[in-house]
Amino acid sequence: MIPFLHLGPLQVPTYGLMIAVAMVAAYYVLRADMARRGLAPKDSSTAELFIAVPCLVGIAGAKIYHVLETPQELFADPVGQLLSRYGLAWFGGLIGGFAAWVLLARWKKIPLLDSFDAGSAAAAVGYGVGRIGCLLSGDGDYGVPTSLPWGMSFPNGLVPTTQTCVQQGWPSDCRVHPTPIYELIVACAIAWVLWRLGARQLTARRGAGVQAPGSVFAAYLVLTGVARFLVEFIRINPRSFFGMSNAQAASIATVVLGAALWWWVSRRGEPQRH
């Protein structure tokens, strides 16, 4: 893999580069979704703001959540852990980005659930593209050893597979599941489903007058939560809660929240009986 690109005296981390690409991809999807919903015209800077601020705050939240997962290492070297270029937790990023998004929606006076619906497909695309940064850097987000033909090895990654394979009792040159590629494929599929759900939502509003904002965001929470829960079974993350990883526990909470939101918005969308 290629953890860094060397451009003369410059050393560019491929993970950071792909995060930037992910932000650009998410921006174009969000801009299109906001425009079709009438939330912001395509030539405005609203979509840029809703991508840049939550992403930056989300990265900070992901870093803080990651270091809090290992308090012993944090207390041993707090400055080094906080300033390290490595280690980001998906759930921490979700919390930070979510909080920033809420504040922006209130500032721009955009209905909160409508803004969540508009951002759901963009979030799925951005997450999937960003995962390629994990693949390029070989930062340890790969899966357990596998004998499948598409298995990959990361001997020069930030977390070499040679180390992981020996720990698992496999040959040092073993191949592992390229889970970032799995997540990219699933994320793109989820984004497509969410975009279609958004189109149906808008059609229903214009035709029958049904108002059900939040349903697309609820589907996003459920689908991404299920996808992350399942991929964790073949990830190398340590187990903690009842044999689950921290990400799996967070995924269950995300699915429950999404199901509850789906039920609530469905009830709101039902015609009133007299």
Which of 253, 255, 258 is closest to 214 using CA atoms? 258
Model confidence pLDDT, tens digit, residues 90-130: 677 778 888 999 999 999 999 999 999 999 999 999 999 99
Lowest mean pLDDT among 35-49, 67-81, 128-142, 258-272: 67-81
For residue 268, pLDDT beyond 90:
no
DSSP, collapsed to helix, strand or coil, labels residue 12 as: strand
For the segment 204-233, the average pLDDT, to the nearest whole number, is 85
**236-243 — which CB contacts under 8 Å span 24+ positions?**
236/140, 236/142, 236/143, 236/144, 236/164, 236/176
pLDDT, the chain, mean: 85
Q: Does the pLDDT value for residue 273 go beyond 50? A: no
3 state SS of 239: coil
Q: Return the pLDDT at 32.
A: 96
Indicate the pLDDT class of residue 274, thresholds 50, 70 and 90. very low
Q: Is 11 helix (H, G, I), strand (E, B) or coil?
A: strand
**Residues contacting 238, CB < 8 A, separation 6+:** 245
Query: How many CB atoms within 10 Å of residue 99?
Result: 14
Q: Which two tokens stand for residue 214?
A: 């939040």
Residue 83, SS3 per DSSP: helix
The whole-number pLDDT of residue 75 equals 63
Is pLDDT larger for residue 164 or for residue 88? 164
Residue 242: predicted pLDDT:
78
The token pair at 64 is 């803080």
Give the list of residues 6+ apart from residue 7 with CB closer than 8 angstroms, or none.
none
The pLDDT, as a whole number, for residue 98 is 87
Q: What is the CA radius of gyration of the chain?
A: 20
Give the integer Cα–Cα distance in Å for 74 and 125: 32
Task: Report, as an integer, the average pLDDT of 261-269.
Answer: 84
Which token pair is 215?
């349903």
Q: Could you tell me the pTM of the whole model?
A: 0.85
> pLDDT tens digits for 77-86?
666 666 665 5
- Report residue 272's pLDDT band, with 50, 70 and 90 as the boundaries: very low
Which is more confidently placed, 206 or 185? 185
Q: Answer yes or no: are the C-beta atoms of 173 and 110 closer than 8 Å.
A: no
Give the pLDDT band (50/70/90) at residue 194. very high
